[in-house]
Structure 1
């Protein structure tokens, strides 16, 4: 189980807001905190969770592989933190000899910070917005109303054609799922849980669909923590 703390504020309510949240991670997945302890978490992953390497990588290249992974993780963590991220989650152990290309981020989002907006009104609006190439549906997370948005992320081929080769190779279409929910008993605070995966390169494949289902199952374990 992964447990994360939320930065404490003092809203004018009698009921104490949650201290953080908890969720159950699949085997081989880890949490990287983004507000503090990021460096220590990366060190732990590098030396404790990455004893295995994908098939086809010679033993002599194992350390180079781990260092390359460390750089990629640092890059992901920096990008997630810039976007209000609280925690980054991703798989660090290979399954069937390969590493899964997937991740999700829990982040705070600026909804209702200027003026108080009833959570249900926000959820209704988000659920009624057009999602290009996808859908938005009302759901519940931890017994409270939320919105699930699912769509596909593609790239502007014309702009991409003039990008460096490394950028073009890394620009894979992805399946994305986002849950948006209010922090209970803490008016004006919202979080999102954002998942992204290119799957096996085919966004319609069974394998890619299984990864999306896995993420939905993880969100199903989400609970607020009051300790």
Structure 2
């Protein structure tokens, strides 16, 4: 199966959303909850917050799975003193019409995006970047969010695309320096994309056997979509 890898900074959680890694997903969510609300906190005060956080993470990854995503990337640590308020959903789209060229698809995407779209190259293939300000009501927030989607063509296989979409929360101004700094981090991660395949991925039991607790990752981590 065709896949891609990206390199992410220290302190990020890579949450798989495919059915074959359901136990890994639950383990990571449990680790995230424990990381933010450790067992040392009073149970009567921390218990409700733990349930809320676990519910939100489970619902978010369930939705990503329903939409065909393979993984969600979630920053957990601060970057230069700033908490990164966002997440990235990664998918591989296959089965496109061989009679429709890459240029045609990207041209249509960029035409719809207007001034919010950018043509570029990623991993040796053409790609499009589309930014949009979106309502945050679904996230139970009143301030808008900035959503950026990358459509990356496979350089050798027609009809195969990488779709990476990240959403960055704001306090009301999506053009604020803090928001744009977070966007730059996500953009940099997308720039590390490299195509490969999933033929040699470990089993779920192997992943579980070698997992480290959230917050104890090595300096850089390569992850698959």
Normalization by structure 1: what TM-score? 0.72
User: Which of 13, 16, 20 does residue 3 from structure 2 map onto?
Assistant: 20
1:90 aligns with 2:61: no
* Matched residue, 1:59: 41
1:123 aligns with 2:106: yes
Contact 1:182 1:189 in 2 (8 A): yes
Contact 1:52 1:94 in 2 (8 A): no
How much is the aligned-residue C-alpha RMSD, in angstroms? Answer: 3.0
Inter-partner Cα distance in structure 2 for 1:210 and 1:64: 32
* Matched residue, 1:68: 52
Could you give the per-residue CA deviations for residues 8-45 of structure 1, whole angstroms, max 9, x where no partner exists? 2xxxxxxxxxx421111122211111113134233234
Inter-partner Cα distance in structure 1 for 2:28 and 2:76: 11
Alignment of 1:118-197 (within 5 A): 118-131=101-114, 135-154=116-135, 169-197=140-168
* Matched residue, 1:206: 177
Q: How many residues align?
A: 194
Greater RCO (CA < 8 Å, at least 6 residues apart): 2
Normalization by structure 2: what TM-score? 0.73
Q: Which has a greater percent of helix?
A: 2
Residues 70 and 94 from structure 1, CA distance in 2 versus in 1: closer, same or farther, beyond 3 angstroms?
Answer: farther
Report the CA distance between 1:219 and its aligned residue: 0.6
Inter-partner Cα distance in structure 2 for 1:30 and 1:187: 31
Q: Which has a greater percent of strand?
A: 2
Inter-partner Cα distance in structure 1 for 2:34 and 2:82: 13
SS of the equivalent of 1:37 reads helix
Inter-partner Cα distance in structure 2 for 1:130 and 1:91: 27
Inter-partner Cα distance in structure 1 for 2:92 and 2:68: 6
Contact 2:166 2:186 in 1 (8 A): yes
Inter-partner Cα distance in structure 2 for 1:188 and 1:138: 18
1:41 aligns with 2:32: no
Alignment of 1:75-114 (within 5 A): 75-93=59-77, 99-109=83-93, 113-114=96-97
Report the CA distance between 1:62 and its aligned residue: 4.2
Residues 22 and 175 from structure 1, CA distance in 2 versus in 1: closer, same or farther, beyond 3 angstroms?
Answer: same
Runs of 5+ unmatched residues, structure 1: 1-7, 9-18, 161-166
Report the CA distance between 1:190 and its aligned residue: 1.9
Report the CA distance between 1:105 and its aligned residue: 0.6
